[in-house]
Structure 1
Amino acid sequence: MSRRRLSKQRKILSDPIYDSLLIQMFTNRLLKKGKKQLAYRIILKSLSLIQKQKKQDAIQTLETAIQNLSPSVEIKTKRIGGAVYSIPVEISSLRATNLAIRWLLSAAKQRSGKNMSTKLADEICDAFKNIGNAIRKKEEIHRMAESSSRLMKK
């Protein structure tokens, strides 16, 4: 076992335009090869598209979509004896938000469309309405947790 101390979790600074921690988390998850400006531009463009489509606050829409996507449990596998069990474990709000962002971005990447900003805007709108691939992923996790709820840890 390592003798080093666990490293402290770094604080994420909020973004300069919207002053939102959620957008900064989105940007950090979306960026590739250190191109943070490009990732930030994609997110800002998708937020402006949402603003035009919905005619309401884009940040509020994004927060509601993330809230709809956030799972309450996560499936962990544990080996007991010779068998492998799927055990549902309750998760923190930060972990739930991170999972929701990850699912939203992966569902947006899988969509067919012109560019990433439109795909992301469409997926956020779908998550706001409780439909789409990201919501399906959350429901699948909850269904698996429900089926193995007798093993649940609290």
Structure 2
Amino acid sequence: MEKIITLVTKSTILKLFIKKCQKSGKLSKAEKTVSSMIKLLKINSYKEPLILIEQAVLNIAPPIIIKKKRIGSYIYYIPTQINIKKAISIGISWLLGSVKNTKELAAEIINAANFQGITWKKKQLYIKNAISNRVFSHISFLNFSKSAHYSKYLSQKKEYIESSLVGSFNKQHSCLKKIPSIK
């Protein structure tokens, strides 16, 4: 138990791992779970357990997150970049959510370090979903709180486009009378 506490001070990813394992405020139970997982990792793999855990979490951590944004009656799924701390936190929660006991967790960590397993497939599907929704990535920069603002923005944009088209038409055909803008 003392050995695990010294390991915790060295690795911030392991600290996060223990905090995510914690259920209903029982830190000692989470530490026991992580220490038994580390023992299983020592037995089942040839690498150092801390390096294996960090490698697995970094392999699973997603570089982007998909946020929902509602504009009018539509819901857009917008991929946005996140910082490394948030990505690591999501990766750890995916790891812990995909397994039920410590033996499965140790096996899943080994698989994740080798770019295999349930969580690796989950990350690949997540990235595939983000790539398919990259069309909507420009929407996050508009920052419209209500659909009325968005419709106002669209109407102004439409008026600007129509006025520029009419203006260019009049310049090309100066002999014609001015055409009123379409509303």
Scaled by the length of structure 2, the TM-score of the pair is 0.69
Q: Distance in 2 between matches of 1:124 and 1:40?
A: 17
RMSD (Å) for aligned C-alpha atoms: 1.4
Q: Distance in 2 between matches of 1:142 and 1:56?
A: 28
Select which of 68, 72, 78 maps to 1:87: 78
Higher RCO, 1 or 2 (CA under 8 Å, sep at least 6)?
Answer: 1
Q: Distance in 1 between matches of 2:46 and 2:76?
A: 47
Instruction: Confirm whether residue 122 of structure 1 aligns to residue 107 of structure 2.
Output: yes
What amino acid maps onto 2:5 in structure 1?
A: P
Instruction: Confirm whether residue 17 of structure 1 aligns to residue 6 of structure 2.
Output: yes
Ranges in structure 1 where 5+ consecutive residues have no aligned partner: 1-14, 110-115
Q: Give the 3-state SS of the residue equivalent to 2:77 in structure 1.
A: strand
Larger Rg: 2
Equivalent residues in 2 for 1:100-111, closer than 5 Å: 100-109=91-100
How far the C-alpha of 1:17 sits from its partner, in A, is 2.1
**Paired residues, what number?**
134
How far the C-alpha of 1:82 sits from its partner, in A, is 1.7
What amino acid maps onto 2:121 in structure 1?
A: R
Q: Distance in 2 between matches of 1:135 and 1:92?
A: 20
Scaled by the length of structure 1, the TM-score of the pair is 0.82
Runs of 4 or more consecutive aligned structure 1 residues displaced over 2 Å after TM superposition: none
Aligned-pair identity (%): 28
1:109-141, Cα deviation, whole Å (9 max, x unpaired): 2xxxxxx22111011011111111111111111
